[in-house]
Structure 1
Amino acid sequence: MRDRYQRLRNEVEHPERYEEATIISSGVPIVLSVWRGQSGGPVVVFLPGTMTHPLFYEEFCDGLAARGINVVGVHLESHGKSPRVGRLLRLESLVANALDATSWARARFGRWPVVVGSSQGGVLAMIVATRDRELAGVVAHNILDPELPASITVSRFPPFLQGAYHPAMRGLRVLAKFVPRLPISFSVYLDMTRVCREPWTAEQFLMDPLSLRTYPLVFLADLLTADMSGVRNGTITCPIVVVAGRGDPLFSLDYTRQVFARIVAPAKELIVFDTDHHLLFNECLPLVLGRVAELIARLDGSVGERAGDLAGGPKAVEGSTPGHQP
């Protein structure tokens, strides 16, 4: 494991299996962090959370590589090591980044990738699943459906606003048209104490020179009013696995189950880890790493069997970590 100063410098623990690549996506350069696993092994495209980058999750990505899984972490447009190109950040650009990264991963490793997303990256992974028909599967840590008024509970806005949720979101879209570049800091809409349970994680985020500090208002409007109809209408052609913490203080398990019930996919599964942390891939690594690696290997191995699986119709399963009940 990296020590405090290695994390703050965004160093990698095993440079012998790490490299970086730069690709052009939506007309601008973005950086990919690549952890090489076993030759011919499964491939993951990893999508990080709000305002962060793959090196914030280095222990998780490197841990997958140590288990033979090749990992392609995406530094989304103007995030992390990707150049700050100065143009207005939009959700659609991040979707394009993820799709271009999956194409790059297929070409580089010769396999259909599993898309793994954490927090905001989990939301992005679900959108990618509706557009890319050459995925082995998706593992989404947290999911969001902006149509549900309960979505407001993910933010730091008071829950009583659920009654005015849809008018409020329409108002947000209107405001974003007038002041699209208005910078919105992390703390305006997310509570750091609900995101980070451990002080060292908050320190890593707040002191990281590669992390963003604000998003433009129009990006938040894009995210909080994103069209997720493709998740519900049968557009997804790959298996979906959602992972969640039982006591996640940001995405409650009740809310996650509401969104999970609306997903339409060839197969879907909800895995519940017995923890009250939100950042599963950072603060709960001993609990989740092995299980997530098993899920990735299973999804990778299912590609050749998918036609036979689909003949049996869609499946929905809720599971839990060994020794715990869902």
Structure 2
Amino acid sequence: MAASSSTSRIVPCICAHTCSKAYVTTPSYPKSSLLQGVDFRWQGGKIENKLFEEEIIDKGAGSPYWHRYLVTDPALVAKVIREEHIASRGLRLHLDVYQREDDAPTILFIPGTGAHARCYAEFLFQLHRQGFRVVGIDLQGHGLSEGMRGSFTIEELVENIYDVTTWAVERYGGRVGISGSSLGGVLAFYAVANDPRLGSAVCHNVAVLSEPDCLRLTRAPNLLRTILPLGHLAAWLLPELRLTIWLYLDPQTITDEPRILETFVDDPLTLQALPLCSIVSQSQAAPARPIEQIETPIMVLHAEGDRIFPLDYCRAIYDRLTCPKRFKLIPGADHLVFAPPYLARSLPPLADWFRETLG
């Protein structure tokens, strides 16, 4: 459980265009450490974690890391991205807008656990080419957005999405849909339960986190059922105590493409550890209304080879929905259904659904 030295490291900025910024992260911790960044100090009556703050400084940046997620020429993708920033909960959120000048529907996209919007750059670019304006969102504490790295509750992330929706409706008009992958799919699901302004949703994976059956999504559900009450107490006492995400996610179940997983793990902007408060929130947050009362049209995407979200679990939640709906099984795909190897199968039904429901 020993941490590495506290030497700062320079992380190139991933701006879509030439940029002179870099991130300084202090310190760098081993990916395999169970407890990451456990170096708290008592100050002013509360425990503060000072090890994961980041600041932008002027430095020459090399080739952007996010290009590794692309199959398309990065120069072509960069040409259509406009970076925007909005305020949410007193923090500055970073958005990648794959812009269109026509009256196209706007699709908001929510990344999965630990990820940022440009982890999905190839998918977002190809969705843009299908005739949509696409907004990739870095939620608070993720990617290029402000906030302590990985520190959130589900309710706070839903509030982030609400604020981005407000911005999108005011900027582009009312035809706004939402999609997300993995935890991002769950957040998209929660977003439509919270906000009827969203006209349509495509959720890759769904869950009701406040229901006991959601522990099936973890690598050790029986153990977690036993220790979860202790986790709630620990999260109250040490909310920013960080645990590796691989404690409850088995990396071998994520993808059959090791290069994709390696790219994610080595990405300086992805999160390999989360505070206890964030982990516990994922086991107790309820949607804003019962899912049977959601009215927004929803497509649920499910990968045939998904080894994290069981098919019967997602199908049971889908069957409870009374809104216009569709369930689409993506053949031959693993959990990373929006990764380049599977886009030819996952993108067409998603785009068709948004055309049908958003006009």
Pairwise same-fold verdict (TM > 0.5): yes
Instruction: For 1:35 and 1:4, locate their aligned partners in 2 and report how far apart those are by CA, in whole Å.
Output: 18
Decide whether the 8 Å contact of 1:184 with 1:215 is kept in 2: yes
Deviations 1:198-236 (A, max 9, x none): 1121111111111112111111111111113624341x2
User: Within 5 Å, which residues of 2 pair with 1:273-284?
Assistant: 273-282=330-339, 283-284=341-342
Structure 1 counterpart of 2:168, from 89, 97, 105: 105
Amino acid at match of 1:141: H
Give the alignment's TM-score, normalised by structure 2: 0.76
Deviations 1:45-101 (A, max 9, x none): 000000101100001100011111100111000101113447942222211111111
1:94 equivalenced with 2:157 (yes/no): yes
Secondary structure of residue in 2 paired with 1:45? strand
Larger Cα-atom Rg: 2
Deviations 1:118-154 (A, max 9, x none): 1000111111111211111111000112354432221
For the structure 1 residues 201 and 105, does the alpha-carbon distance in structure 2 shift closer, same or farther, using more than 3 Å as the test? same
**Counterpart position of 1:285:** 343
Structure 1 residues without counterparts, runs of 5 or longer: 302-326
**Counterpart position of 1:299:** 357
Secondary structure of residue in 1 paired with 2:338? helix
CA RMSD between the two structures: 2.4
Give the alignment's TM-score, normalised by structure 1: 0.83
**Counterpart position of 1:270:** 327
Instruction: For 1:209 and 1:87, locate their aligned partners in 2 and report how far apart those are by CA, in whole Å.
Output: 13
Amino acid at match of 1:300: L
**Counterpart position of 1:7:** 67
Secondary structure of residue in 2 paired with 1:30? strand
**Counterpart position of 1:243:** 301
Amino acid at match of 2:237: F
Structure 2 residues without counterparts, runs of 5 or longer: 1-62
Amino acid at match of 2:300: V
**Counterpart position of 1:117:** 180
1:24 equivalenced with 2:81 (yes/no): no
Secondary structure of residue in 1 paired with 2:282? helix
1:258 equivalenced with 2:316 (yes/no): yes
Decide whether the 8 Å contact of 1:20 with 1:33 is kept in 2: yes
Structure 2 counterpart of 1:128, from 180, 186, 191: 191
**Counterpart position of 1:52:** 115
Decide whether the 8 Å contact of 1:12 with 1:58 is kept in 2: no
Decide whether the 8 Å contact of 1:37 with 1:67 is kept in 2: no
Q: What displacement does 1:193 show?
A: 1.4
Q: What displacement does 1:276 show?
A: 4.3
Secondary structure of residue in 2 paired with 1:190? coil
**Counterpart position of 1:66:** 129
- Percent same amino acid at aligned positions? 30
Amino acid at match of 1:249: R
Structure 1 counterpart of 2:256, from 193, 197, 208: 197
For the structure 1 residues 245 and 291, does the alpha-carbon distance in structure 2 shift closer, same or farther, using more than 3 Å as the test? same
Q: What displacement does 1:289 show?
A: 1.2
Instruction: For 2:255 and 2:238, locate their aligned partners in 1 and report how far apart those are by CA, in whole Å.
Output: 30
Deviations 1:30-58 (A, max 9, x none): 10111024611121000000010110000
Q: What displacement does 1:295 show?
A: 1.1
For the structure 1 residues 151 and 12, does the alpha-carbon distance in structure 2 shift closer, same or farther, using more than 3 Å as the test? farther
Amino acid at match of 1:24: A
Instruction: For 2:198 and 2:139, locate their aligned partners in 1 and report how far apart those are by CA, in whole Å.
Output: 19
**Counterpart position of 2:287:** 228
Q: What displacement does 1:245 show?
A: 1.2
Amino acid at match of 1:32: L
How many residues of Structure 1 are paired with residues of Structure 2 in the alignment?
Answer: 293
1:206 equivalenced with 2:265 (yes/no): yes
User: Within 5 Å, which residues of 2 pair with 1:178-193?
Assistant: 178-193=237-252
Decide whether the 8 Å contact of 1:143 with 1:242 is kept in 2: yes
Structure having the larger proportion of residues in helix: 1
Bigger Cα displacement from structure 2, 268-277 vs 77-86:
77-86
Secondary structure of residue in 2 paired with 1:224? coil
